[in-house]
Amino acid sequence: MHAADRRDKVAPVDIHAHFFPQAYLDVLAEEGPRFNVEYRAAPEGFYIKTDARAQGPLPYRVVDLKQRIADMDAQGIAMQAMSLTGPMSHWGDEELSHKLARAWNDSASAAHQKYPTRLFGLLTLPMLFPDRAIDEFEPREPITRTARRLHGHEHQSSRPRRSFI
Ligand SMILES: [Zn+2]
Protein backbone atom coordinates (compact mmCIF):
# COMPACT_ATOMS: atom_id res chain seq x y z
CA MET A 1 0.00 0.00 0.00
CA HIS A 2 1.29 3.45 -0.86
CA ALA A 3 1.90 5.94 1.94
CA ALA A 4 -0.75 8.28 0.53
CA ASP A 5 -3.36 5.50 0.55
CA ARG A 6 -2.47 4.61 4.12
CA ARG A 7 -2.85 8.25 5.18
CA ASP A 8 -6.41 8.26 3.83
CA LYS A 9 -7.26 5.35 6.11
CA VAL A 10 -5.91 6.90 9.32
CA ALA A 11 -8.59 8.07 11.75
CA PRO A 12 -6.95 10.64 14.03
CA VAL A 13 -8.16 10.58 17.65
CA ASP A 14 -7.77 13.66 19.82
CA ILE A 15 -7.33 12.43 23.40
CA HIS A 16 -6.88 15.89 24.95
CA ALA A 17 -10.05 17.78 24.12
CA HIS A 18 -11.62 19.92 26.82
CA PHE A 19 -15.40 20.09 27.17
CA PHE A 20 -17.31 22.60 29.29
CA PRO A 21 -20.98 21.58 29.01
CA GLN A 22 -23.51 24.27 29.80
CA ALA A 23 -24.94 22.13 32.63
CA TYR A 24 -21.54 22.19 34.39
CA LEU A 25 -21.21 25.95 33.85
CA ASP A 26 -24.72 26.44 35.27
CA VAL A 27 -23.70 24.64 38.47
CA LEU A 28 -20.59 26.86 38.65
CA ALA A 29 -22.71 29.98 38.19
CA GLU A 30 -25.29 29.00 40.79
CA GLU A 31 -23.16 27.43 43.48
CA GLY A 32 -19.60 28.57 42.81
CA PRO A 33 -19.88 31.89 44.65
CA ARG A 34 -20.26 30.09 48.03
CA PHE A 35 -16.70 28.85 47.46
CA ASN A 36 -15.35 32.02 45.88
CA VAL A 37 -15.64 30.66 42.33
CA GLU A 38 -17.17 32.92 39.71
CA TYR A 39 -18.56 32.17 36.26
CA ARG A 40 -19.42 34.99 33.89
CA ALA A 41 -20.71 34.82 30.30
CA ALA A 42 -19.81 37.71 27.98
CA PRO A 43 -20.17 38.28 24.22
CA GLU A 44 -16.45 37.59 23.59
CA GLY A 45 -16.41 34.38 25.65
CA PHE A 46 -16.86 33.19 29.20
CA TYR A 47 -14.78 33.65 32.32
CA ILE A 48 -14.07 31.39 35.29
CA LYS A 49 -12.31 32.77 38.33
CA THR A 50 -11.11 30.76 41.31
CA ASP A 51 -8.63 31.44 44.12
CA ALA A 52 -6.06 29.57 42.03
CA ARG A 53 -6.50 31.27 38.65
CA ALA A 54 -8.55 33.40 36.32
CA GLN A 55 -9.49 31.91 32.91
CA GLY A 56 -11.03 33.72 30.01
CA PRO A 57 -12.30 34.75 27.68
CA LEU A 58 -12.85 31.05 26.87
CA PRO A 59 -14.48 30.30 23.51
CA TYR A 60 -18.03 28.98 23.32
CA ARG A 61 -16.78 26.34 20.87
CA VAL A 62 -15.77 24.25 23.95
CA VAL A 63 -19.46 24.26 24.98
CA ASP A 64 -21.33 23.90 21.68
CA LEU A 65 -21.38 20.38 20.18
CA LYS A 66 -22.27 21.41 16.63
CA GLN A 67 -19.33 23.81 16.56
CA ARG A 68 -17.09 21.08 18.01
CA ILE A 69 -18.02 18.65 15.24
CA ALA A 70 -17.50 21.37 12.63
CA ASP A 71 -14.04 22.09 14.09
CA MET A 72 -13.19 18.37 14.10
CA ASP A 73 -14.25 18.08 10.46
CA ALA A 74 -12.12 21.10 9.55
CA GLN A 75 -9.12 19.63 11.43
CA GLY A 76 -9.59 16.09 10.08
CA ILE A 77 -10.20 14.64 13.57
CA ALA A 78 -12.27 11.45 13.55
CA MET A 79 -12.88 11.15 17.30
CA GLN A 80 -12.41 13.14 20.45
CA ALA A 81 -11.99 11.75 23.96
CA MET A 82 -13.38 14.75 25.82
CA SER A 83 -12.32 15.66 29.33
CA LEU A 84 -12.98 18.28 31.95
CA THR A 85 -10.30 20.81 32.87
CA GLY A 86 -9.86 23.34 35.70
CA PRO A 87 -11.66 24.08 37.92
CA MET A 88 -12.59 20.35 37.65
CA SER A 89 -14.88 18.90 40.33
CA HIS A 90 -12.41 18.44 43.19
CA TRP A 91 -13.51 21.28 45.44
CA GLY A 92 -16.48 22.59 47.37
CA ASP A 93 -18.41 20.33 49.69
CA GLU A 94 -19.47 16.75 49.09
CA GLU A 95 -22.78 17.71 47.48
CA LEU A 96 -21.36 20.31 45.13
CA SER A 97 -18.35 18.23 44.10
CA HIS A 98 -20.65 15.37 43.12
CA LYS A 99 -23.08 17.73 41.39
CA LEU A 100 -20.27 19.14 39.21
CA ALA A 101 -19.04 15.66 38.28
CA ARG A 102 -22.58 14.45 37.55
CA ALA A 103 -23.36 17.48 35.37
CA TRP A 104 -20.22 16.86 33.33
CA ASN A 105 -20.71 13.08 33.03
CA ASP A 106 -24.39 13.40 32.09
CA SER A 107 -23.51 15.92 29.40
CA ALA A 108 -20.62 13.85 28.06
CA SER A 109 -22.92 10.81 27.92
CA ALA A 110 -25.53 12.82 26.03
CA ALA A 111 -22.85 14.09 23.63
CA HIS A 112 -21.69 10.51 23.01
CA GLN A 113 -25.27 9.39 22.36
CA LYS A 114 -25.74 12.24 19.92
CA TYR A 115 -22.44 11.58 18.10
CA PRO A 116 -21.66 7.94 18.96
CA THR A 117 -18.80 7.56 16.49
CA ARG A 118 -17.22 10.98 17.08
CA LEU A 119 -17.41 11.99 20.76
CA PHE A 120 -16.39 10.04 23.87
CA GLY A 121 -16.17 11.15 27.47
CA LEU A 122 -13.34 10.54 29.94
CA LEU A 123 -15.30 10.21 33.17
CA THR A 124 -14.69 12.73 35.93
CA LEU A 125 -15.23 11.69 39.54
CA PRO A 126 -15.54 13.55 42.86
CA MET A 127 -12.30 11.99 44.09
CA LEU A 128 -12.15 13.91 47.38
CA PHE A 129 -15.21 11.95 48.47
CA PRO A 130 -14.55 8.24 47.74
CA ASP A 131 -18.11 7.03 48.43
CA ARG A 132 -19.47 9.63 46.03
CA ALA A 133 -16.81 8.73 43.46
CA ILE A 134 -17.92 5.07 43.56
CA ASP A 135 -21.59 6.10 43.35
CA GLU A 136 -20.81 8.16 40.28
CA PHE A 137 -18.59 5.52 38.69
CA GLU A 138 -20.58 2.30 38.95
CA PRO A 139 -23.60 3.04 36.78
CA ARG A 140 -21.32 4.55 34.14
CA GLU A 141 -19.04 1.62 33.51
CA PRO A 142 -19.78 1.46 29.77
CA ILE A 143 -18.27 4.93 29.34
CA THR A 144 -15.09 4.03 31.18
CA ARG A 145 -14.82 0.77 29.29
CA THR A 146 -14.90 2.78 26.08
CA ALA A 147 -12.30 5.16 27.47
CA ARG A 148 -10.04 2.28 28.52
CA ARG A 149 -10.28 0.81 25.05
CA LEU A 150 -9.43 4.16 23.56
CA HIS A 151 -6.36 4.39 25.79
CA GLY A 152 -5.35 0.88 24.86
CA HIS A 153 -5.32 -0.56 28.36
CA GLU A 154 -8.27 -2.86 28.70
CA HIS A 155 -7.29 -4.56 31.95
CA GLN A 156 -8.26 -8.06 32.95
CA SER A 157 -9.40 -7.35 36.46
CA SER A 158 -11.06 -9.60 38.98
CA ARG A 159 -13.07 -6.55 40.07
CA PRO A 160 -13.69 -4.73 36.79
CA ARG A 161 -16.49 -2.61 38.22
CA ARG A 162 -14.05 -0.87 40.54
CA SER A 163 -11.05 -0.48 38.24
CA PHE A 164 -10.65 3.21 37.66
CA ILE A 165 -8.91 4.55 34.62
ZN1 LIG B 1 -6.01 19.64 29.57
pLDDT per residue as tens digits for the range 82-128: 999 999 999 999 999 999 999 999 999 999 999 999 999 999 999 99
Q: Is the peptide bond before 57 cis (omega within 30 degrees of 0)?
A: yes
pTM (2 d.p.): 0.81
Burial degree of 92 (CB within 10 A; 0-12, 13-18, 19+): buried
DSSP3 helix / strand / coil % (the chain, rounded to 5): 50, 20, 35
How far, in Å, is the centroid of ligand 1 from the Cα of 138?
25
How far, in Å, is the centroid of ligand 1 from the Cα of 84?
7
State the average pLDDT over residues 126-145: 80
- For residue 61, the Cα-to-chain-centroid distance in whole angstroms is 14
pLDDT of the residue at 151: 46
pLDDT interval class at 9 (50, 70, 90): confident
pLDDT of the residue at 162: 37
How far, in Å, is the centroid of ligand 1 from the Cα of 29?
21
State the average pLDDT over residues 11-17: 94
